[in-house]
Amino acid sequence: MNPQEKIKELVELLNKYSQEYYNNDVSLVSDFEYDSLLRELENLEKEYPDYILPNSPTKRVGDFSESELEKIYYKTPMLSLANVFNENELIEFDNRIKKEGFNPKYVCELKIDGIASNANYSSGIFILGSTRGNGVVGENITSNMKTIKSLPQVLSNNLDIELRGEVYMKKSVFNYLNDIRKEKSEELFKNPRNAAGGSLRQLNPKITEERKLDIFNYTIVNPEKYGLHNQYEALKFLEKNGFSVNPNYELCNDINEVIKYIEKWKDTRKELDYETDGVVIKVNDFSMQERIGYTVKSPKWAVAYKFPAIEVETKMLDIVFTVGRTGNITPNAVLEPVMIAGSLVQRATLNNEDFITERDIRIGDYVLVRKAGEIIPEVVRVSFERRSDGLEPFKMIQVCPECHQTLVRAKDEAVHYCLNEECPGRIKAGLVYFASRGCMNIEGLGEKLVEDLFNLGYIKKITDIYGLYKYRMQLENIEGLGEKSVSALLDAIEKSKENSLDKVITSLGIRFVGSKVAKILTKIFFSLDEFLTATYEDYVGIKDIGTSTAKSLVNYFKKNYNLIKELESLGINPIEEAITNEEQIFAGMTIVLTGKLESLTRDEASEIIEKLGGNASTSVSKKTSFVVCGSDAGSKRTKALELGIKIISEDEFLDLVKR
């Protein structure tokens, strides 16, 4: 795979993981795996800057959650931190600062595994609470933050102040709530971080209040207003004024003391009543921070040291197999229940046959399981010294666990597939995918309910979802539902008919066609009918559409002609407006966005540029056509001036695109 293709693959994969993490509070991979992939992308982008994509996760702070909550715009962005993973990288961070002529002291704080938040007070009264969102635009969660007992609603003095913190759920509260949910046969919370995230985004504050959240505050916006000169003073100031601050912070005179602090908490943190996955290290002096400066995404004067993923030993009781929507078969370890990073783990993915055989994993083995507070744990290795005699080597199943047809292993792949398109496992996985947030976004129609509805015979294909209203009374009698839940579900189903064409194409689950490919396709084909009549030659002639994808598209629409017509008859027939050549005003141009835009988000502006034929780039070069400058534009504006590249304002850009 060439570097350009690898960058595209990594961007799409990381954005998928990020979307689930920020929008659904779901972690598809461990922090360690995500950070490893991100590091690989960063290194490739440094080596091949011309291939950097405008939607690269290296160019933004976080992801924006799609919800009904009001948007909050930050004057001072909530930046993310660069990560370091070992002592050498920590020393490199210190050396970079010293090379600039600084000799800093550092403040170390435990990195709380929760949800970043912002709180505003006016005359000592709490008036606004919000999530970080993408660092520039967050969500209004004031009502929910008012339920947090450790966040004062009224201060002892009339301060006007904006501060930032981390909302979290205590381990003890997490266990207590799960005990209650278990008694009620409700789905258990996966871990404290996800439980906190879901609780904060509830539209009903009473539910949030029941979740008993807490908060640690860690910084003040514009601290100089209060006569504060450094981070240590700021933490003391917060404590003095009644704010909850994690007590385990420490002022360190040099990087050696920082390393001692990390060693101290690496194991001791397990005794705390909250999850912490690292240490935040900040240059203490505020004036020094400003002189050291920032990158586009993060401050240069701070890093987050990530603790190694926690590994716990437990017994593997069995191996079971699940079927994906494309027929892919995934082996999963059934574990003797064990607590890892604050959550109960009973399953772990084993990926594929080669993964198991290379590690010689056997049923009955004691295995090391790694899980850094995430949902999907992984088996790391076998504790061979504890292996009992007589354990049978693993043998891959030969037939599908759902339909019992013979499995096929693809050439040059480690994955086995069930080729039966009528396989119940494949159908159920396809239904779950169709309803998921990144596709048709039918809230409430998750894996468990799909399983129930499939077994009851109410849904066998995606179009059946739109006939569920016929079973309203029966649905209300399903355990865990009820009149309100069913009404909300049916409303979400009806609302999904309004989705754009690219969302519909994505949701169909066509092999090799994810959200990015769907967006490319819907710039060429503007209705479902056009897809039905498109040929292999039509597809393969499109830039970034390869032969495998073209074949997959032709095969899908040929086999599913009647299904697509049924979707259209149900009112799912979005028509995209074609952009004529005359309207492709940015054709062949490379345009760079910099600074804060007032009327558009960076993603919205990039989408407009690409829709009108241009390439939205993140770096200024001689190939740049012009630069759009918002407020607080920095190094990109300077470089554009140096290269003599045209600079226009946001208003001029809006005039060009007639917005």
pLDDT, tens digit, 9 for 90 and up, residues 39-52: 788 888 888 877 88
- CA-nearest of 303, 307, 278, 415 to 370 is 307
What are the tens digits of pLDDT across the range 432-445? 999 998 899 999 99
Is 340 within 8 Å of 275 (Cβ atoms)? Answer: no
% of the chain with per-residue pLDDT over 90: 52
Six-digit token pair at 634? Answer: 């920095």
Amino acid, single-letter form, for residue 190: K
**pLDDT above 50: residue 572:** yes
Nearest-CA neighbor of 402 among 327, 510, 333? 327
Q: What tokens appear for 236 in the block?
A: 């003391």
DSSP for 100-149 reads: TT----EEEEEEESSEEEEEEEETTEEEEEEE-TTSSEEEB-HHHHTT-T
Q: According to the model, what pLDDT value does residue 58 have?
A: 75
CATH topology for 582-656 is: Rossmann fold (3.40.50)
In this predicted model, which residue has the larger pLDDT, 331 or 634? Answer: 331
Catalytic-residue membership of 497:
no
Positive or negative, the CA dihedral 472, 452, 26, 115 is: positive
CA angle 434, 437, 440 (to 5 degrees): 45
Fill in the amino acid letter for 268.
T
Summarised one tens digit per residue, pLDDT across range 123-146 is 999 999 999 888 888 889 999 999
Structure token digits, residue 8: 């595209």
Q: How far is CA 60 from CA 78, 298, 308, in A?
A: 11, 9, 25
The larger pLDDT score, comparing residue 515 to residue 223, is at: 223
- At the topology level, CATH places domain 424-569 in DNA polymerase; domain 1 (1.10.150)
Measuring CA to CA, which residue among 74, 79, 52, 61 is closest to residue 18? 61
pLDDT attached to residue 63:
46
The pLDDT tens digits for 145-154 are 999 999 999 9
pLDDT for position 606: 82
For residue 109, pLDDT beyond 90: yes
What 403-412 contacts at long range (C-beta under 8 Å, 24+ apart), as own/partner pairs, is: 407/329, 409/353
pLDDT-derived band at 405, boundaries 50, 70, 90: very high
How would you class 322 by CB atoms within 10 Å of its CB: exposed for 0-12, middle for 13-18, buried for 19 or more? Answer: middle
Residue 609: what pLDDT? 87
More confidently predicted of 340 and 457: 457
Q: What is the pLDDT of residues 299-337, one digit of tens each?
A: 999 999 988 766 788 999 999 999 999 899 999 999 988
How far is the C-alpha of 83 from the C-alpha of 39, rounded, in Å?
9
Which member of 59, 98, 111, 170 is catalytic? 111
Contact assessment for residue 436 and residue 499, using Cβ atoms and an 8 Å cutoff: no
CA dist., res. 111 & res. 83, Å (int)? 11
Superfamily of domain 71-306: DNA ligase/mRNA capping enzyme (3.30.470.30)
CA atoms of 260 and 319, how far apart (whole Å): 42
Q: Computed from CA positions of residues 161, 164, 170, 176, in that sequence, does the dihedral angle turn out positive or negative?
A: positive
Distance between CA atoms of 301 and 221, rounded to whole angstroms? 16
Residue 277: is it exposed, middle or buried by C-beta count within 10 angstroms (0-12/13-18/19+)?
A: buried
What CA–CA distance (Å, rounded) separates 281 from 302?
A: 6
- Each domain of the chain, given as residue ranges in start order, spans 3-59, 71-306, 311-397, 424-569, 582-656
Please give the radius of gyration of the chain, using alpha carbons only, rounded to the nearest integer: 26
> Bridge partners of 305?
84, 279
**What is the CA angle 217-377-260, rounded to 5?**
50
pLDDT tens profile 532-564: 999 999 998 887 788 989 999 999 999 999 999
User: 19 or 370: which carries more pLDDT confidence?
Assistant: 370
| Fold designation for 3-59 | Helix Hairpins (1.10.287)
Poorest-pLDDT segment among 54-58, 500-504, 577-581: 577-581
- In this predicted structure, which of 14-23, 50-59, 84-93, 582-591 has the lowest mean pLDDT? 14-23
Q: % helix / strand / coil in the chain, to the nearest 5?
A: 40, 20, 40
Residue 32 pLDDT: 57
Q: Mean pLDDT for the chain? A: 87
* Mean pLDDT in residue range 336-344: 71
pLDDT of residue 519: 83
Query: Is this model's pTM higher than 0.75 or not?
Result: no
Mean pLDDT within 32-38 = 68
Instruction: Give the pLDDT confidence score for residue 499 in this predicted structure.
Output: 92
Domain 311-397 has CATH 3.90.380.10: no
Q: What is the β-pairing status of strands 626-629 and 646-649? A: parallel
